[in-house]
Structure 1
Amino acid sequence: MARGVQGLARVAVVVRAGVAPLWWLGVFAAGIGVLVPGITGRRIGVMAGGALFIVAAVVVSYCRRRRYTALTRSVARAGKHDVLQDRAVTVRNWRRGHRWWLLLAFVAALGSAFAVSVAGGMLLAGCGAGLRLKAAWLGRRECADNALLWVRVDWLDGRGGQPAGKAVRTYRSTGVAAGDAAPGGARRRTAALV
């Protein structure tokens, strides 16, 4: 890239990138865990799994919100030469960078079914639900401020994802029409042509 030109990835898209893999791997692991009674039995496993799902969703949803809020206060306008990364590229980079962690979490969730059936899978699914709630919260902030939040790609480190990490010093902003993702990081719905 030329001097002064930076690649920017949507903050909400980076947060939302882990939702589908965590949710579906968790559901799959919980489904397999139902077949294994475990040491505690299925009933206790399902109740513990439900509690873990709720706790994980709440903790992940509220984790680091203060840091996100602080970064949005010091937001700078994106320059005309900055390159906005496509949603699909951001999601693909995050998933490639975290594939081994996802695989390890899935294996751990399956292994935990022999002790407490269903619980590990529900915990994993709860983490995915928490990320979805956090992305929705970011989307509401973007709508309220009428600006989309972007982070420099080189600050996300090689693995593609810590939009509120130590390396991130500020966010950039654009109008709500920029990029191919709606507020909150979902795919932008195009109006049907009449």
Structure 2
Amino acid sequence: MAVVVRAGAAPLWWAGVFAAAVGLLVPGITGRRIGVMAGAALFLVAAAVVSYARRRRYTALGRAAVRAGKHDVLQDRAVGVRNWRRGHRWWLLLAWLLALGSNFAVPVAGGLLLAGCGTGLRLKAAWLGRRERDEDALLWVRVDWLAANGGRPAGKAVRAYRSTGIAAGDAAPGGARRRTAALV
């Protein structure tokens, strides 16, 4: 489940950084200095809001998690990331274009807002990873509930999470790629 949360972090971060870098080249209506200061404030606010949004729902669903049965369909990390990014690619492109377009009014601010959203998602995934480590169980969303919800792991269609052992699947707690030691 943290995999789905973390799937949007990297595209949002890099699109935001690129849009902010382009904003440094454009003087804009308000000027670069005001744009950078507003962008820094927007970055912090966006990171905090995205990171703390819906934590009660995630906690409640995590507490109600049941052991995954043999008929539950759970996705690998790579499949979950690929599906989320494919399903949201047009939204990501639109957000990036809006951040680029905002550079003509307030340079850098739109890009830093986008990067702040990506940072907030990364922080939320890290929080979920700490919860998974503390409970010694990975949390999963059933594929059919995730698809019915538009890729949102804490939406209305999700009734409860499924849990497996910490070593199940190819994802580490927090949605990161599992690191395997090379056999010598």
- Taking structure 2 as the reference length, what is the TM-score of the superposition? 0.97
1:39 paired to 2:29: yes
Q: Does 1:30 find its partner at 2:20? A: yes
1:100 to 77, 90, 97: 90
Is 1:62 aligned with 2:60?
Answer: no
Equivalent residue letter for 2:41: A
Q: Give 5+ residue unaligned stretches, structure 1.
A: 1-10
Task: Identify if the C-alpha distance between structure 1 residues 21 and 62 changes in structure 2 by more than 3 Å, giving closer, same or farther.
Answer: same
Structure 1 CA distance for aligned equivalents of residues 71 and 55 of structure 2:
30
Aligned residues: 184
Gaps of at least 5 residues in structure 2 are none
Amino acid at match of 1:32: V
Offset from partner CA, 1:133-158 (integer Å, 9 cap, x none): 00000000000000000011111136
Partner of 2:38: 48
**AA of the residue aligned to 1:148:** L
**In structure 2, what residue type is equivalent to 1:96?**
R
How many percent identity over aligned positions? 83
Aligned match of 1:161: 151
Asked if the contact 1:110–1:120 (Cα under 8 Å) also holds between the matched residues in 2, the reply is: yes
- Give yes or no for the alignment of 1:174 onto 2:164: yes
Q: In structure 1, the residue corresponding to 2:57 is in which secondary structure?
A: helix
Q: Tell me which residue corresponds to 1:76.
A: 66
Alpha-carbon distance in structure 1 between the residues aligned to 2:79 and 2:183: 27
1:8 aligned partner: none
1:15 is the counterpart of 2:5 = yes
Q: Aligned partners of 1:76, 1:39: CA distance in 2, in Å?
A: 54
| Deviation (angstroms), 1:193 | 1.8
1:122 corresponds in structure 2 to 112
Q: Distance in 1 between the 2:75 and 2:156 partners? A: 21
Name 1:4's counterpart in structure 2: none
Per the TM alignment, residue 191 of structure 1 is displaced from its structure 2 partner at its CA by 1.2
Q: Distance in 1 between matches of 2:132 and 2:183?
A: 27
Cα distance in 2 between the residues matched to 1:154 and 1:44:
46
Between the aligned partners of 2:175 and 2:33, the Cα distance in structure 1 is 37
Moved over 2 A (4+): 80-84, 157-160
